[in-house]
A and B are shown apart, each in its own frame.
Chain A
Amino acid sequence: MRLFKPSAALLPLYLIHARGGSGLSARAVLSIRRALTARTSALCLNADHDEPRSGLTPSNTLAETIFALSSGGGRAGVSVIRISGPQAREVLLQMAPGRQGAAELPPPRQAVLRRLRQPSEHGGGCGDRGGEGPPAELIDQALVLWFPGPRSFTGEDVVELHTHGSRAVVAATLGALNSIRGLRLAEPGEFTRQAFSNGRMSLTEVEGLGDLINSDTEEQRKQALAQMEGVQRRVFEGWRETLLGSLAHTEALIDFGEDADDVTEAALSGAVSRVRSLRAEMAARLRDGERGEAVRDGVRLAILGPPNAGKSSLLNALAARDAAIVSPTAGTTRDVVSLTLELGGLPVVVSDTAGLRAETADEIERQGMARAAKEAARAHLQLWVYDALAPPQSAEQLEAALASARAGAEQEPQQAEPQKLLLLNKVDLLPEGTASASAFFAADRQWGVSCLTGEGVQDFLTSLAEIVKRQYGADEREPALVTRARHVQHLTACVKALDAFVELAQLGDGAPLDIATEELRTAVNELGKITGRVDVEELLDVIFRDFCIGK
């Protein structure tokens, strides 16, 4: 027989009622859920008729409990299968009951070795009960971990099965889980989603976890780990706290300024000065933000220069080096080709572009140049490659080359000014004993190489790695705060709102506090969006904490 699971409509009214009050703690809700699950188990133990679907149970009940293979697919030493939700406990008792006949939970958060069995078809899903028929088919021996909610990753009851990592074992286990009523395969990221829903993680921590799982390089690992551990969240929430305080003081001046004698203009000027210093800090972090994104998404290096300077040869030379991790990807455009290197612990995305020249009649070439210009604009580093025999003479020369390429293409707002580096190629063609150099590049910003002979390429790579690391690495410094475009967007909006607030609040006596606080509210909201929370009651709490409010 199958498990009888009451549908939502059949739940006792008091239960819905009880949960309607938000006064219930998460723990209380969980215990109610657990009671419910226990009751359904009891029900199926006692039922001895074989036809439970008597028109009361819909064919598809709401599957609450999810499971998935959490380790990588394919053959491996160990595979980890995770089950999360109200039925996790029941699944554990059913599939890995422990010593025969004595289905019991292992101690929380301790690994125990158990036999993993098929859920018995005739046992009503209640596990093999000693003596009643043959034990269900064995799947594997597994290490079993039991994490009762809410102290688990997802906040729900979680069971982890560490099975042998064969495809067959994994398939059999997943198949067995799938056959249990009320269980379903998790969607991508759903465990983390549960964790977020249950307040176990903030949004930035979730992002950090995602980055950590996807990290390829050392710097990415460090940054993601810090983010997941809540470094980012703490800073953002610290800021929010400060802003909330300022907002509360301004709001207090509005709502209580006429009646409570301690709510004075001093509260406003205090708020303004706090906002000012915070704004400066945010702006600094925003400038720094480029670093965080670079670590996460790679430092963008654009190879630019006149045609036939050896740009493509350089890319090939880079691609051929053993030191570099190379993954050549055909560019989305016909003529921008990118590959990713690991330099100084960071991913560096190198893009080769079409040669730039003053005039062309070829429409396709013009398109290619426009794309090169675009690539140049979004790069963190511009590597200009010139023939060592004809080094560029002035900065304007570079600008002019780009400007002509840009002509006709739609302009994109340039973010930070990219740093320019110079590579003089074909040093093998220089007369013996002479060297080539450009006067307006610093000595440590230019190199001479020969892509043909390989001369100087290793030196160049070493210096480049240093530059990248110095600029974007997190070795000595704290990890970057702003790691995503999303953060940049909200933080920029926040800074803008703070500027408007300061301007309005400083209009002196008669300053329109209503729109000033409106700006401050916007700022707090923007910041809250990064970590995922804003609440009006918090505001009132600050007001009441800091002021003695009379009627």
Chain B
Amino acid sequence: CSFSCRCTPAPVGARMLARANGATWPMQPHCRKLRKSPPMRLTLLVAACSSCSGLGSGWRTGVQHHALGGVRPLTGYSRVVEPCCAVQESRSRTVDVIVVGGGHAGCEAAAAAARAGAQTLLVTQSIDTIGEMSCNPSIGGIGKGHLVREVDALDGLMGRVIDEAGIHFRMLNRRKGPAVQGPRAQADRDIYRTAMQAALRQVDRLELYEGSVEDLLLEGLPASSNVAASHAAATRTPRVVGVRTAEGAVLHAPRVVITTGTFMRGVVHIGKSTRPAGRYMRDSDSVEPPCTALAATLLRLKLPLSRLKTGTPPRLDGRTIDNGALEPQPSEEPPLPFSYVNEGGTVANAHRLITCYKTYTNERTHDIVRANMHTLPDYESGGGKGAGPRYCPSLFSKVERFPQREGHMVWLEPEGLSTHWVYPNGISSAFPLEVQQQLVNSMIGLENAEIVKPAYDVEYDYVDPRCLRHTLEVRECTGLYLAGQIIGTTGYEEAASLGTIAGANAALACAERPPLIIGRHEGYVGVLIDDLVTRGTQEPYRMFTSRAEWRLLLRADNADRRLTPKGAAAGCVSDERRQRLRDKESAIALGRHALASFTLPNSEWAARGFGVKPNGEMRSAEQILNVPRATLHEIEDTIASNPHGWRRGVEPPVGPAVPVLGREAVEVEIKYSNYLERQEKEVARLQDHMSVVIPFKVEYGALPCLSKEEVEKLTLARPATLREASLIPGITPKALFYIYKEISGQRQPQTGEPIASRTDSNGAEAGAEAGALEITEPADSHHFMEL
């Protein structure tokens, strides 16, 4: 860094590169004392590398790095290692799909692409850190657990890996209704990482490649200096053809998936100390370098970038925690596995499950927070406060937003079987280390706890996901896919499910096969993608069950039945798993048949505590399950002790009446049959309407109530069906409703109250068509005709 502060110079390198690539980037020193000075432009010190063509790379810091050849090091910069050309053994490669990044999104993207038949290269800065859990050592939860099951249903890795690595399992919301139950597990970080790497190595057609991607190879992108050329080229969409690594290797592929997480121009903060990095290394004080050059390339593509913040709490030495003073939370036994492959079975570490403990912050903690507010980092995003996730607030924002609260819950989660590190869930805040230590010691049970790794925050660039299609391909750049935190989400599970879809679609596009698109009624991943690409996000997006309008259909117990067939059609599901699904379907049929074949008079059911009138009416076990509060477990007990209830000619099963496989599905589907039917009807109606063909001659400008913007978009895109129209960003349910009415030839009579009720039901459909909760009832012509 040429300035007299002591920060590392990586951002300077980034800016040089940006400048060199034709973009301009006002110089903004990241050092505080220089920030007040007027913006400067950096004098370029970059010269072309003498042996390779062009400016392959930027500056690199940290552990294993190569730097640009032929470039004069900046003053004070001491870590230049070697020129870029003397590096990779294979300088040029060609594959089908390149996945950049080895986090949760990258792993699933690479595996999905390879499963779907593409020769795939996963390029990551360090193969060793593939599958690292950067923040909490847990997978799943409400909404998130659903996502993991869906990834698994598409034959992804996460579910199987967490079954390998899980050391504490719970089914959340067990008593709040089957549709909202979500599996959650805590992992041993080391086992998880190892298992993930092993799982990746077993995937055919997938190769891991260590390298640091610096730039995308693009075709059809106008040079920004040539205005005329850029105008001519504006009509053609640029296309990605590969990547170039910092080490100088050129990797060719028609499809590239970028999953760089928080690494895009990442900056980590602890107190006022700020370093450019994507994250801290787990077991040293050094950082993993950010991707800066890539950000410049995305800017050249005119992708809308802005900044988000997230944070992680300190890690504690478990041996210094007084667990005796705390409330324990043991794992559930037997643990319920995530993966459908293990359904009805168990998990790898079932014999050595651990226990978590719970403590609380208190007034003293909050006083320390308030007294040290000024020591928090100076964030770039959120108006200086950091644009962090609302649902996962830092300790500071909890104290700020809820000053009346006397305490906040803190879970103490062991990070593994072979480490004494503990993750205190709920107290992230990037105070300086000594303040963090005070905060930790103010809590019961943690009076003597030692911090082994300080909390830190990270700010990073994300791409507004509204520039993506539902396949996660960038609209304005053919072949470029984005997934994970880079498009504004948070959480391993969200990343993994986005990665799965992006990877599969990259491979399918290579093979010129139809894309894999999951609807909002088919999976949480469908809700996730639809929300992102149509609405965008201003804070890190997390999945909740309340985001799904067909929540009763999208359960954790039936993700395989919903998605495995779709995955199979896309060619990314193994034969073994398809067979597994067929077995499950027949087990479910068997179980349902058994329940329908067992009848008792109401009086006998009532005598056993079921909520029915004690009369002589005969009821089957299936009907009894429909009664509120009746459980399958109780019914099976009754069946077992009343063999006379079996219908004549039915052979009573040897074991339990309902097979273990698919048991949950049987219970829910019978219990909620009426509600499920209602939602299925709504979905079916939606399907009917969405497949309605829009004639080419429709004059959108002549339709009432369409905004000018909508008319323009529809006229440009000329969608063939209502579904296609609905996929155009910015097209509202109301617009769809009017298009639907126009093409279905439903002309509304001008007066008469009965019409109102009919149009209302149409209104509901229009909302359903949008598939979103935002059911804005269209102002029907009826309302206006009177005027």
Using a CB–CB distance below 8 Å, which chain A residues touch chain B?
8-9, 11, 13, 16, 19-22, 29, 33, 61-64, 86, 187-193, 196-197, 203, 206-207, 209-211, 213-214, 251, 253-262, 297, 484-486, 489-490, 504, 507, 509-518, 521, 525, 528-529, 532-536, 539-540, 543-544, 548-551
Q: Would you call B787 and A254 a contact (CB within 8 A)?
A: no
Bound CA span A188–B730, Å = 27
CA–CA, A486 and B757, complex, Å = 6
**CB of B547 within 8 Å of the partner chain:** yes
How many residue-residue contacts, CB under 8 A, span A and B?
223
Closest Cβ of chain A to B776, distance in Å, is 6
Instruction: Give the complex CA separation of A515 and B672 in angstroms.
Output: 8
With a cutoff of 8 Å between Cβ atoms, the chain B residues found around residue A528 in the complex are 775-777
Whether B175 sits at the interface, judged by CB under 8 Å, is yes
Closest to B182 in A: A258
From B544, B702, B776, give the contact of A534 (CB < 8 A): B776
Chain A binder among B273-281, B364-372, B390-398, B583-591:
B390-398
- Tell me the residues in window 718-777 of chain B with beta carbons closer than 8 Å to chain A beta carbons: 729-730, 753-754, 756-757, 760, 763-764, 767, 772-777
Cβ contacts under 8 Å, B180 to chain A: 254-255, 513-514
- Of the candidates A9, A214, A258, A262, which one forms a contact with B172 in the assembled complex, judged by CB atoms under 8 Å apart? A258
Chain A nearest CB from B233 CB (Å) reads 12
Minimal beta-carbon separation of A7 from chain B (angstroms): 8
Residues A193 and B704 in contact, CB atoms below 8 Å apart: yes
1/0 contact string of B366-402 vs chain A (CB within 8 Å): 0000000000000000000000001111000010011
Contacts of B39 in A (CB 8 A): none
A255 touches B777 (CB 8 A): no
Chain B residues contacting A484 (CB-CB under 8 Å) are 753, 756
Chain B nearest Cβ from A254, distance in angstroms: 5
Q: CB within 8 A of B730: which of A22, A253, A297, A517?
A: A22
Using CB atoms, name the residue of chain A closest to B405: A548
Closest-CB distance, A210 to chain B (whole angstroms):
4
In whole angstroms, how far apart are the Cα atoms of A511 and B402 in the complex?
A: 29
User: Which residue from chain B places its CB closest to the CB of A187 in the assembled complex?
Assistant: B704
B336 → chain A closest CB, angstroms: 15
Please choose the segment from B190-198, B451-459, B707-715 that sits at the chain A interface, where 4 or more of its residues have CB less than 8 A away: B707-715
The one of A187, A203, A518 in contact with B779, judged by C-beta atoms closer than 8 angstroms, is A203
In Å, the complex CA distance between A511 and B176 comes to 6
CB distance from A299 to the nearest CB of B (A): 16
B730 adjacent to A548 (CB under 8 Å) = no
Give min CB distance, B782 to chain A, whole Å.
9
B690-706 interface bits toward A, Cβ cutoff 8 Å, 1 = contact, 0 = none: 00000000001110110
* Selected A-B contacts with CB under 8 Å, 30 pairs: A8-B712, A8-B716, A13-B234, A20-B466, A20-B713, A22-B535, A22-B536, A188-B785, A188-B787, A193-B784, A197-B705, A209-B787, A213-B787, A254-B545, A255-B143, A255-B180, A259-B411, A297-B753, A486-B756, A489-B756, A509-B175, A513-B173, A514-B551, A515-B177, A515-B552, A528-B775, A528-B777, A536-B773, A548-B402, A550-B398
B408 contact from A192, A213, A261, Cβ within 8 A = A261
Query: B461: shortest Cβ distance to chain A, in Å?
Result: 17
- Name the A residues within 8 Å of B702 (CB-CB): 62
| Chain B residues near A192 (CB-CB < 8 A) | 783-784, 787
Residue of B nearest to A204 (CB): B783
Q: Is B33 an interface residue (CB 8 A)?
A: no
Residue of B nearest to A516 (CB): B177
> Are the CB atoms of A532 and B776 closer together than 8 Å?
yes
Q: Is B178 an interface residue (CB 8 A)?
A: yes
Closest chain A CB from B499 CB (angstroms): 21
Taking the closest CB of chain B, its distance from the CB of A91, in whole angstroms, is: 17
Chain A residues with CB under 8 Å of B143's CB are 255
Given contacts A188-B785, A548-B405, A551-B136, contact A540 B176 (CB under 8 A): no
Known A8-B715, A514-B179, A548-B408; contact A62-B701, beta-carbon cutoff 8 A = yes
On B, residues with C-beta under 8 Å from A are 136, 141-143, 172-173, 175-180, 234, 304, 360, 390-393, 398, 401-402, 405, 407-409, 411, 425-426, 464, 466, 535-536, 544-547, 549, 551-552, 628-629, 672, 675, 700-702, 704-705, 707-709, 711-713, 715-716, 729-730, 753-754, 756-757, 760, 763-764, 767, 772-777, 779, 781, 783-787
In contact, B773 and A534 (Cβ under 8 angstroms): yes
A193-B705, A297-B753, A551-B391 given as contacts; is B787 within 8 A of A513 (CB)? no
Question: Are B142's CB and A255's CB within 8 A?
Answer: yes
B residues near A190, Cβ cutoff 8 Å: 704, 784
**B675 to chain A: which residues have CB within 8 Å?**
515, 518
- Using known A-B contacts A484-B756, A536-B547, determine if residue A210 contacts B176 with beta carbons closer than 8 Å: no
Chain B neighbourhood of A509, CB < 8 A? 175
CA distance A440 to B420 in the complex (A): 89
Judging by beta carbons under 8 Å apart, are B784 and A513 in contact?
no
Specify which of A504, A514, A518, A534 lies most central, judged by the most chain B CB atoms within 10 Å of its CB: A514
| Chain A interface mostly | helix
* Smallest beta-carbon distance A286→chain B, Å: 16
B550, closest chain A residue (CB): A518
Given contacts A253-B176, A258-B173, contact A210 B787 (CB under 8 A): yes
B177 A540 Cβ-Cβ under 8 A: no
Question: Are A203 and B426 in touch, CB under 8 angstroms?
Answer: no
Residues of chain A with a CB closer than 8 A to B760's CB: 486, 489-490, 529
User: Residue B753 contacts which of A485, A507, A513 (CB distance < 8 angstroms)?
Assistant: A485
Structural contact, B544 and A255, CB atoms closer than 8 A: yes
Q: In the complex where A193-B784, A550-B398 touch, is A29 in contact with B709 (Cβ < 8 A)?
A: yes
CA distance A76 to B535 in the complex (A): 51
Residues of the B chain whose Cβ atoms lie less than 8 Å from the Cβ of A515 = 177, 179, 552, 672, 675
Chain B residues closer than 8 Å to A213, beta-carbon distance = 786-787
Q: What is the minimal beta-carbon distance from A84 to any residue of chain B, in angstroms?
A: 13
On whether the beta carbons of A507 and B629 are closer than 8 Å, the reply is: yes
- Bound complex: CA A20 to CA B729 (Å): 7
Indicate if the CB atoms of B176 and A254 lie closer than 8 Å. yes
Beyond A21-B464, A536-B546: 13 further Cβ-contacts under 8 Å? Answer: A8-B715, A16-B713, A191-B787, A251-B545, A255-B143, A259-B141, A485-B757, A489-B757, A525-B775, A529-B764, A534-B776, A549-B393, A550-B398
Residue of A nearest to B672 (CB): A515
- The answer to whether A485 and B756 touch (CB under 8 A), given A214-B786, A513-B177, is yes
Q: How far does the Cβ of A120 sit from chain B's closest Cβ, in whole Å?
A: 27
Question: How far is A193 from B391 in the complex, measured between Cα atoms in Å?
Answer: 39
Of B143, B757, B772, B775, chain A has the most CB atoms within 10 Å of the CB of B775
**Beta-carbon contact of B393 and A548 below 8 Å:** yes
Nearest-CB residue, chain B, relative to A541? B390
Question: Do the beta carbons of B391 and A536 come within 8 Å of each other?
Answer: no
Out of B304, B536, B545, B785, which one reaches A255, CB within 8 Å?
A: B545
| A278–chain B nearest beta-carbon distance, Å | 20
How far does the Cβ of A182 sit from chain B's closest Cβ, in whole Å? 11
Question: If A62-B701, A192-B787, A260-B409 touch, does A535 touch B773 (CB 8 Å cutoff)?
Answer: yes
Give the nearest-CB partner of B674 in chain A: A515
CB neighbours of B700 from chain A (8 A): 62
A255 near B425 with CB under 8 A, answer: no
